[in-house]
Amino acid sequence: MSPSLSFANVTVGYARHPALHHLTVTFPSRSLTAVIGPNGAGKSTLLKAAVGLIRPMSGRITCHDCRQRDIAYLPQLAEVDRSFPIPVFDFVAMGQWRRRGAFSAFRRDDDEATAHALAAVGLVGFEGRTLDTLSGGQMQRVMFARLILEDAPLILLDEPFSAIDDRTIGDLMQQVERWHTEGRTIAVVLHDLDLVRERFPRALLVARQCLAEGPTAEVLTEANLAAARHMTEAWDDHAPFCAGEAA
């Protein structure tokens, strides 16, 4: 339990252009880290690389005490087809995939676990609703219920609170903190700096490279944030190949 995740000199990107350039950072065991940075800074790319959805062009990503496939990951734009006719209960129950897989039967206690997860995110009474009848906030609660059931030691959330109202953010943030006290390692991509200052002990500021990492107060300084704002988003099609590459 309580794994750590480290990036050693990792470059990840698209079409040979790095979205994240020679990144070396660590998410320590039992830490709760906010990943911040401007749009296009490579925050989502960082999480995708961690769960293996993108292969790094160079460098190593290592996950101690946790297999890569055991990381729970909430994508920014989940590819959930909400028109598919499935009740909320069944969808959330799929969070137990690692234990039950594609074939095992669901037992009574599995169903109870699902009911508990739904209760934890405030969705009692929604069991039989289909996904297309849910609001954006309710859908995010459903995704969190599934994450609870995944029971993963390492949890990565990509902008879980965008377009979500304050009350829902409050409830879901409580769940994140519950995971933190349970000793799980968590990284959350966020844009709300006030929320980061209030609730996140650690922060990582990226802007296509690591600008600052550590206790939140030391990361969120005016100087660092100004540096992040000066990041260039555009690709230079004629940029020379990176010299570090040869090493």
Partner 1 sequence: MTPIDLIQPFIDFAFMRRALSGCLILSLSTAPVGVFLMLRRLSLTGDAMAHAILPGAACGYLLAGLNLYAMTAGGIVAGLVVATLSSLVARATPLKEDTSLATFYLMSLALGVIMVSLRGSSVDLMHILFGSVLALDDTALAFIATIASITIVVFAIVWRLLVMECIDPGFLRVLRGGGATAHFAFMGVMVLNLVAGYQALGTLLSVGLMVLPAAAARFWTRRIGGMIAAAAAIAMLSSALGLILSYFWRLPSGPAIIAVASAIYLASVLAGSVGGVLTSRLAFRHRSG
- Note the residues at the interface with partner 1 (CB under 8 A): 51-53, 69, 71, 73, 75, 78-81, 83-87, 91, 94, 97-98, 102-103, 130-131
CB 148 within 8 A of CB 184: no
Minimal distance in Å, beta carbon 190 to partner 1?
21
Smallest gap from Cβ 63 to partner 1, in A, equals: 13
Q: Which is nearer to partner 1, 20 or 139 (CB)?
A: 139
- Least Cβ distance, residue 56 to partner 1 (angstroms): 16
Give the shortest CB-90-to-partner 1 separation in angstroms. 8
Nearer to partner 1, 28 or 52 (CB): 52
User: Residue 210 forms beta bridges with which residues?
Assistant: 206
To the nearest 10 degrees (0 to 180), the angle between helices 136-150 and 166-181 is: 10
Least distance (Å) between residue 15 CB and partner 1: 11
Identify which of residues 155 and 225 has a Cβ nearer to partner 1 in the complex: 155
DSSP for 35-88?
EE--TTSSHHHHHHHHHTSS--SEEEEEEETS-GGG-EEE-TT----TTS--BH
Nearest-CA neighbor of 55 among 6, 4, 14?
Answer: 14
- C-alpha 82/C-alpha 178 separation (Å) is 28
For residues 131 and 206, which CB has a smaller minimum distance to partner 1 in the complex?
A: 131
The per-residue b/e assignment along 33-64, b for 16 or more CB within 10 angstroms, e otherwise, is bbbbbbeebbbbbbbbbbbeebebbebebebe
184 or 208: CB nearest partner 1: 184
Task: Tell me the C-alpha distance between 92 and 86, whole Å.
Answer: 10
The DSSP symbol for 213 reads: E
CB of 4 to partner 1, least distance (A): 19
C-beta of 84 vs 107, nearer to partner 1: 84
